[in-house]
Structure 1
Amino acid sequence: MFAPKSVAVVGVSPTAGAFGSRTLAILEQAKFAGPIYPVNAKYDRIGERQCYPSIKALPETPDCVIIAVPREAVEPIVVECAERRVGGIIIYSSGYSETGKSDREKQQARLVQISRESGVRILGPNCIGALNYKNGFHATFAAVPDASLPTSRPDAIGLVSQSGALGFALSQAIEHGISFSHVLACGNACDVDVADEISYLADDPNCKVIACVFEGMSNPSRIIEAAEIAHVANKPVIIYKMATGEQGAAAAMSHTGSLAGSNAAYRAAFKRVGIIVVDNFEALIETAAFFGKASRPKAPGVAVVATSGGACIMAADKAELYNVQLPQPVAKTREVLERVVPEFGSPKNPCDVTAQVLGSPESLHACVDALMSDDTFGALVVPQPLAYAIATARLKIFSESAKRYNKIACAVWLTEWMEGPGAIETELDPHVAMFRSMDRCFATLAAWNEREQWMRAQPRKLARASGTEAAQTAAKLLDSAENNILTEREAKKVLSAYGIPVVDEELVQSADDAVTAANGMGYPVAMKVESPDLPHKTEAGVIRLNLKTEAEVRSAYEAVMANAKGVSPPPKINGVLVQPMIPAGTEIMVGAKVDPLFGPLIVVGLGGILVELLKDTVLDLAPVNHDEALAMLGRLKGKAVLAGFRGSEPVNLDNLANIVCRLSELVADQKERISELDVNPLICSGERIIAVDALIVTQHS
């Protein structure tokens, strides 16, 4: 389908603007080397080519058949292709499932059935086509870049897009020097989908890196599998994901359910398999082009050399924003910089060589070579403020040093003359990556170093934190629960089975019993109404904290019971829990959810009543290993509170990560039973980490 030796175009006519005729003209313009067979029963010839009445009438079975006829005429042609066992079918025709009409969905389903029964693969329908720049197979009716432009270099990008128009829009980057091996759309993806196309490109030797415009899939495990295939082939996958809005959170029972949206789950899944995610459409091709040129980083440090002090400051700002290291050079390098940089410059990193290099270009060469040779640095950033002949001249300096030391130079095009002198030359250079934004440059360098860390952690190791008996014990507890929302006491028994420390408690039925319990465990105490119908106790007003006397306990008992009985409809009340008041500490929320697309997920965040307001959470696929749990904690925006804040005791991160691992194992083990789980809060102080509240929602009613 994507690298055919022969092609048939069904629907060619003398009308130049018709999709079939446009496709034939584009194939000829691209100098497709194999036979091209026009098919239309109305004509004997189209231009200088013989026209055939049907697929059956062709002198050979074509590798690929492009169908450019109205929807009503498509199915018989697909049947004919299946009978002849063609290599693949591309269907332009629209009006199928994208209309939302049931009869059109059935028509598309019949195409799928034909494909499954015959083994003939289908791309589309409602597809803009596919481009293979290596063999001139430009199977599309859309305008494409001039086929004479240089492309299919060793750093070529294979581009996959669920949106045909956006994919072909990106392919116009060829006009300013980007190299593509393929541009593959998938339309309605009734058969061949984005995951198939990524997998195909992983095996294609003409593709160095894979870029993808992605909306979503009903079975995202396929794109995860495709990314794993690409990893084996040592091909980075860069994705821009659209449709990032979250739906369905309002119906969630737990904090986790409202925070673990589908976009967060996609990002976690992508991270797990080393996919690089860009947040902006405009960043996709620049990022992919960088990964097409750059080898693996030799060091995480980045050097900056510029002729502008302002550009140095801008670079430093973006490096800090994306946590990219700008270390200082070693003594040998510093000696070179101090010798050649004028006193009004800056002989450090970032290095401001000043405009004086206009008069002594050799000083720029000396600085670039010294920084590139320094083992402290894996990449060099070179802001380019002017797009005149000087930009082309300096490119040679950057490129030669990058090639000599097998590193990458990043030219940041700061001028607004986007296609000015030096721009296309930079894009074409195999050793210099072009960026039209300092922000995107450092975002890409951060992703480069992050991917290197991921590569070094492969293959992923998963050692169980909880005992093997935990799953069986917890399963029995969950199966015996009377309600699908477990009480706090029931939920904490499940946590205990996995070795998670929980607060002691006693269930009482009267104020006198509450006082007796409080006297026995010591003051201060906390009191909570236990009811399966009140999962969010704070909102219901059925919690009282830090009770220090018998009188306060009696008053609290009456108050929380009155509030509980005032709820409508009346909740089932089991009694009141009396618990020792755990001393203040850092409050952390750890939750879990079984997602219909991704399965078990684990979430960590700053806990307490502000968890949904702050939304400082990190999500991953469950189960996680110890290093992954630590990394989750390290990605929290408020991670500083874990290290001790304003005199608080630092939290033992290894202990906290161990609890995160155990909870991730719980949801993974019980994914057929649990829907949502919250432990909020875990109160953490030094070595002491204890769960004081928990919510588990099961899948059974």
Structure 2
Amino acid sequence: MNSPTDITPATRRTALRELDLDRFFHPETVAVIGASDTPDRPTTLNWRRIRDWANRVGSRIHPVNPKKEMVDGLPCFPSILDVPGEVDLVVILIGDAMGVLPQVISSGARYAVMFAGGFAETGAEGARRQAELEDLLAAGQLRLLGPNTNLNAFEEFRDDLPGRPIALITQSGHQGRPVFQGQEIGIRFSHWAPTGNEADLEVADFVRYFADLEETGAIAAYVEGFRDGRTFQLAADHAARKGVPLVMVKVGRTAIGRSWAKSHTGHLAGSDAIVSAVMRQYGVIRVDGLDELLDTAAMLARAKPPTARGVCVYSISGGTSAHMADLATAAGLELPELTEDTQRALREWIPDYLRVSNPVDNGGHPTGDWRGRKILDALVADPGIGALVVPITGAFPPMSDYFVRDLVAVAETTDKPVCVVWGSPVGTEGAYRDVLLRSGIPVFRTFGNCITAVHAYFQHHEFMREYQSPWDRVELRPSPVAPKARELIAGGSVLAEHDAKSLLAAYDIPVSRDVLATSASDAVAAADSIGYPVVLKVASAAIAHKSDLGLVRIGVGSATQVRETYAELVDRASAAVDPALIDGVLVCEQLTGGVETVAGIATDELFGPAVMFGIGGLAVEVYRDVTFRVPPFDRAEALRMIREIKAFPLLRGHRGQPAADLDALADVLMKVQRIALDLPGELTELDINPLLALPGRAVALDAFAAGRTKEQP
């Protein structure tokens, strides 16, 4: 197979760019334009923040300000062009950042940070300014972070905390603050990249860099929109190849969320259904809250891969155990019964009227003496258990103190994560502050966040066991039938059903046996050839939804009925559209049984062509039980796509009905993907509905296709 350098001429980037971001995070020389030591000025605070950071990372720092000769005892240069030697990083603190940017580019600096706002986040005029900024950058070698960004890259990162660190990426510095403050409860961070408007450096660049760092335990990201859908795919694939968990809050699930995302950062938020599908495709873990982002990333960074799929819930209360077990089971976690040997051992320390099968309830008293550690050792030794979840709903010293010390001690003896929920609303207890938070084990404040993180933990490692990058197996050459397909959609017209089916047939997608009849006699001859009963439909590119206008008849069982139906359909269609736009009547074989599904292609503003699959027929718009994938994807992903719709049990054979051929459906999806790859700039929409899923085959009964018009961008 060829390497993924270009799929088709119409696609965007297919390889991540090579950047030496070490020179950004560990520069030898830093220059700060607008540096000041004037008291009580925001610029002074920012200058000193950057100066202190530069001292911590061992960088030389130079203030730049034409109004100052010295700043905080350091010689100050009137212009960036006056700074001696090479400069790795320039931080622009002044409002007129565009005014000095040409000089920064001319200086040969490698990286710059533009703090100023007033660009694409402010509307049309700001977008014009940002376009000018991007044009300036394109002409040089400077790489820019921002504009409209914060200085969070220059925070103080503690190196005295346990565990592998989290690398943080945010498009809003304010939204990243409560995540970064996880340092205060013992969660380690290594970097923070606040990307702002992403006129140049984008989320994808930092995902790649952080995934390549050996120390990175997880990447946590708050994203409002992607600069380029293709680069996000490539970056997520890169993280998956490296086995680095990528956890993300992505704004834009709702219309109001998408509108704010666009106004705040100037990004297109994209179709959320397709964004979610791409995340599933590449194993990105999507969460909703910033607290979930912190807790889930910390869990993944700290916990080693599971040795078993089972979760054991252990507490001192039957009610607590039942509550946690309900949440875990509803989330899809497995709570297997403990082995007979484990249960027998537990009975030595837990009264026989309490449950020890899973969940395990010790009644409280064993927690406060020597039995507590014995119980924990037995639980983590059970071969079916991959994670232990211990909800502590409130502090009850001294027993809770003993309990916590035992939990930390047993966690040091096993690779299985010991997850503790400290439910006390106070949070100042010594057992929590001085023992749990300093231990490095996963600690949560809510049941919900614990379950979310544990589920993500198993989900990530299960995904990684099976992941194979689709970019290594992309067919780069257009298929031999691509020229014929282009002829069919030439001119940007909507295709009539028979032409749309010709497009499908060109890619070997099975279609029903159809004959286009232009007279009643032709229709009878076609029906005689196909075999009764037949389906009759008006054939016209001007009519997209024929059934809505009563222009489809099924079960037409004789030559007489064919003649009568033909005349009726033509008359009805002529009342709806210009008769010159009616091609005739399509006579089709009638297939029964099976499950009506839908497959097709939608064009997304960020990701380009996306392949759709779901439950079809008239129900598609009612239930919206559909899913998407963005090319490239492999056959295993096509099958995963089929299995994730809610109606999948129907395809497996519900209540004695025969099962549909899943391999045949996967074949169709792979061929639809081939169409999407061949015609990404020319075909805007393809709809195969219904795609009848039968035992042994899948057949397209109806199809709609539309090409891009000259007026469309």
- The equivalent position to 2:286 in structure 1, one of 263, 266, 277, is 277
Deviation sequence 1:374-400 (CA, Å, 0-9, x none) = 221221111121135554543332333
Q: Aligned equivalents of 2:285 and 2:704: distance in 1?
A: 34
Residue 392 (structure 2) pairs with residue 381 (structure 1): no
Give SS of 1:566's match.
helix
Give SS of 2:227's match.
coil
Deviation sequence 1:632-675 (CA, Å, 0-9, x none) = 12111121111222332222323322332233233323434422
Cα shift at 1:177: 2.4
1:136-535, aligned counterparts within 5 Å?
137-138=154-155, 153-205=162-214, 207-245=216-254, 262-359=271-368, 361-387=369-395, 389=397, 390-418=399-427, 420-425=429-434, 428-429=437-438, 431-460=440-469, 471-473=479-481, 475-480=483-488, 484-511=493-520, 513-535=522-544
Preserved CA contact (<8 Å) 2:509 2:700: yes
Give SS of 1:602's match.
strand
Deviation sequence 1:342-375 (CA, Å, 0-9, x none) = 233211122222223345x433323322221222
Q: Name the structure 2 match of 1:93.
A: 116
Q: Aligned equivalents of 2:571 and 2:417: distance in 1?
A: 69
Give the letter for the 1:7 counterpart. Answer: V
Preserved CA contact (<8 Å) 2:312 2:358: yes
1:597-612, aligned counterparts within 5 Å?
597-612=606-621
Aligned length: 672
Q: Aligned equivalents of 2:296 and 2:632: distance in 1?
A: 30
- The equivalent position to 1:11 in structure 2, one of 29, 34, 43, is 34
Cα shift at 1:573: 1.0
Q: Aligned equivalents of 2:223 and 2:654: distance in 1?
A: 41
Q: Aligned equivalents of 2:179 and 2:477: distance in 1?
A: 54
1:638-653, aligned counterparts within 5 Å?
638-653=647-662
Cα shift at 1:115: 4.2
Q: Name the structure 1 match of 2:707.
A: 698
What is the Cα-based RMSD across aligned positions, in Å?
A: 3.3
Q: Aligned equivalents of 2:587 and 2:709: distance in 1?
A: 29
Preserved CA contact (<8 Å) 1:212 1:239: yes
TM-score by length of 1: 0.86
Q: Aligned equivalents of 1:464 and 1:176: distance in 2?
A: 44
Give SS of 1:579's match.
strand
Preserved CA contact (<8 Å) 1:514 1:557: yes
Cα shift at 1:216: 1.7
Q: Aligned equivalents of 2:400 and 2:357: distance in 1?
A: 23
TM-score by length of 2: 0.85
Q: Aligned equivalents of 1:532 and 1:426: distance in 2?
A: 71
Give SS of 2:576's match.
coil
Preserved CA contact (<8 Å) 1:337 1:348: no
Q: Name the structure 2 match of 1:78.
A: 101
Gaps of 5+ in 2: 1-23, 259-268
Give the letter for the 2:89 counterpart. Answer: C
Give SS of 1:70's match.
coil
Distance 1:503-1:304 versus aligned 2 partners, 3 A rule: same
Preserved CA contact (<8 Å) 1:301 1:377: yes
Give the letter for the 1:226 counterpart. Answer: A
Q: Name the structure 2 match of 1:126.
A: 148
Cα shift at 1:515: 4.5
Give SS of 2:301's match.
helix
Give SS of 2:537's match.
strand
Deviates more, 1:121-130 or 1:681-690: 681-690
Preserved CA contact (<8 Å) 2:36 2:47: no
Q: Aligned equivalents of 1:116 and 1:575: distance in 2?
A: 54
Q: Aligned equivalents of 2:321 and 2:686: distance in 1?
A: 48
Q: Aligned equivalents of 2:691 and 2:157: distance in 1?
A: 63
Preserved CA contact (<8 Å) 1:673 1:698: yes
Preserved CA contact (<8 Å) 2:158 2:188: no
Preserved CA contact (<8 Å) 2:367 2:402: no
Cα shift at 1:620: 1.0
Where relative contact order (Cα < 8 A, 6+ residues apart) is larger, the structure is 2
Gaps of 5+ in 1: 132-136, 139-146, 250-259
Distance 1:427-1:150 versus aligned 2 partners, 3 A rule: farther
- The equivalent position to 1:683 in structure 2, one of 675, 692, 711, is 692
Q: Name the structure 2 match of 1:142.
A: none
Q: Aligned equivalents of 1:111 and 1:683: distance in 2?
A: 52
Cα shift at 1:619: 0.9
Deviation sequence 1:664-688 (CA, Å, 0-9, x none) = 2333234344221111112234334
Q: Aligned equivalents of 1:3 and 1:306: distance in 2?
A: 46
Q: Name the structure 1 match of 2:599.
A: 590
Cα shift at 1:128: 0.9
Cα shift at 1:581: 2.2
Cα shift at 1:517: 4.0
Deviates more, 1:657-666 or 1:31-40: 31-40
Cα shift at 1:267: 2.5
Distance 1:216-1:417 versus aligned 2 partners, 3 A rule: same
- The equivalent position to 1:68 in structure 2, one of 74, 93, 104, is 93
